[in-house]
Amino acid sequence: MSLSVDTMRTIDRWVGVPLCAVVSPLVALFDRIQTAVQGAPAKPRKLLFIELSEMGSAIIVDPAMRQAQARGAEIFFLIFKSNKASLSLLNTVPANNIFTIDASSVTNLIRDTWRFLILARQRKIDTVIDLELFSRFTALLTGLCGARRRVGYHIFHGEGLWRGTMLTHPVHYNPHMHIAKNFLSLVHAAFASRQEHPFSKIQIPDSAMHIAQAVIDPDTRAAVLERIEKLTLAKDIPFKLGRQPFFLVNPNASELLVQRRWAPESFSRLIVALRQKWPDCLILITGSPAEHAYVENVRVQAGVANALNFAGQVSFAELPALYTLADVMVTNDSGPGHFSSVTGLHTVVLFGPETPALYGSLGKSIPITAQLACSPCVSAANHRKTPCSDNVCMRAISVDQVLEKMSIQYAAAIIHA
């Protein structure tokens, strides 16, 4: 079992702060020595992105990674081992250039951290971009990996999550701009020929946030379709692809922020409403193998014959193929909303503790948010930890609202079919 989010936050605070205080002057001293001996660091050639904990961010950062490649850099990535699969959806980073850290225990965390610091030097990483929002652990990895150009977010005159002074290119994090644009501003800083105070003094158009589309293997798509057809046949549910509405319902959200979950009973009522509006529709309720029981509870409460528990029925690598088969997906603000953006799937994504203005899917997506006075309640300033135990922001989203947006998306899907 992996370390809990709260455990990692505690370690990051009580161990990370003193380590950052100790390491920062040592890194600065080493920089001065290297500059005196070797001169100024060269243009990025081997560039490492660090994003450990968010699988969705591995998709959102793709435009930034492709921009770095277009500028001539070989790219690398460091991610938690449990999240590595998210990088396989677009295969922007070569498999041999992906480093992982196992966070299943403190022992494994320390072992893999030490191993990474050695490998980074062996692979001669010269530039690192820390994508995390003020994580002290990633700041330490950035400062100690041997790269001479080190880019990441800095608080400047702000108060909050201090994490040392190990960056050579400190960037202003803009909480009013989509995170994909924030990532692109980091790439600008990495390739900048002169210092900016603060980085990055550029305009980033919406068009720069374009997400590449996954290449779908026809055999994989056929295999997923065959699996669906066998399941519907076993349940005596008529199904013919393209002849009836086909919906995906993703009711869970990761443990990183459980307040993002729309209530299971709300998803159940939505399934009933979908069945009433489109009597011949097929509804697959999706999730990971570990979420099978959670999904089953939603299915049982709905009591709709043509709504099937599909949790664990496709591997992570098969998700894009599944998404090309369906018409519309509804999901909490979680990984699937971003994973689906690598395909043409129309989605409806439900937001509460976070805002689509910063974290909205870059695909064919419609966000829904209640826009309460208290939300979004998580941000870089509070380590994405909220005191809320009553997510009214999610409960305020009605089934009728979601059904309306799904109807709009279904109409769009039919037009583009």
Q: Which domains does the chain have, with CATH numbers?
A: 5-209 (3.40.50.2000), 218-416 (3.40.50.2000)
pLDDT band, residue 375 (cuts 50/70/90): very high
Segment 109-113 mean pLDDT: 96
Task: Note the residue count of the chain.
Answer: 417
In the predicted model, what is the mean pLDDT of residues 103-110? Answer: 93
Which position has the higher pLDDT, 40 or 176?
176
Q: How far is CA 371 from CA 86, 186, 266, 330, in A?
A: 30, 29, 19, 19
How far is Cα 283 from Cα 299, in angstroms, rounded to an integer?
A: 10
Is the pLDDT at 47 greater than 60, yes or no? yes
DSSP β-ladder status, 169-172 and 149-154: parallel
pLDDT of residue 350: 97
* Residue 160 burial (CB count, 10 A): 12
Which whole number is the average pLDDT over 22-40? 94
Give CA–CA dist 149/66, Å, rounded: 19
Task: Name the β-bridge partners of 172.
Answer: 154
**pLDDT for position 42:** 85
Weakest mean pLDDT among 124-138, 167-181, 253-267, 346-360? 253-267
| β 98-101/346-351 pair status | unpaired
**pLDDT, mean of residues 279-292:** 96
Percent of the chain with pLDDT over 90: 87
**Cα separation, 369 vs 348, whole angstroms:** 11
Q: Give the tokens for residue 12.
A: 């990051």
At 160 the pLDDT is: 74
> Per-residue pLDDT averaged across 365-378, rounded?
95
pTM: 0.95
Which tops the pLDDT comparison, 378 or 92?
92
Report the share of the chain in percent with pLDDT over 70. Answer: 99
Q: Is the pLDDT of residue 1 over 60?
A: no
Q: What is the pLDDT of residues 191-250, one digit of tens each?
A: 999 999 999 999 999 999 999 999 999 999 999 999 999 999 999 999 999 999 999 999
Backbone angles phi, psi at 102, to 5 degrees: -85, 115
* The predicted structure's pLDDT at residue 132: 93
| Location of structure tokens 């994508």 | 131
Q: How many CB atoms lie under 10 A from the CB of residue 149?
A: 22
Q: Residue 144 in contact with residue 167, Cβ under 8 Å?
A: no
Residue 167 sits at φ, ψ, to 5 deg, of -90, 140
The per-residue pLDDT for 2 is 64
Res. 91: pLDDT tops 80: yes
DSSP secondary structure code for residue 81 in this structure: G
Which residues have C-beta within 8 Å of that of residue 217, sequence separation ≥ 6?
321
What average pLDDT score do residues 260-286 get?
Answer: 97
> Residue 231: which residues within 8 A CB-CB, separation 6 or more?
308, 310, 313
Ramachandran angles phi, psi of 351, nearest 5°:
-115, 145
Residue 215 has which token pair? 């290449």
What gap in Å lies between CA 81 and CA 11, rounded to an integer? 19
From the centroid of its chain, how far is CA 95?
19
pLDDT at 417 over 90: no
Report pLDDT for 6.
Answer: 79
Of 324, 87, 347, give the one whose Cα is nearest residue 222.
324
Average model confidence (pLDDT) across the chain: 94
Instruction: Say yes or no to pLDDT of 92 above 90.
Output: yes
Asked if 66 contacts 92 with a C-beta cutoff of 8 angstroms, the reply is yes
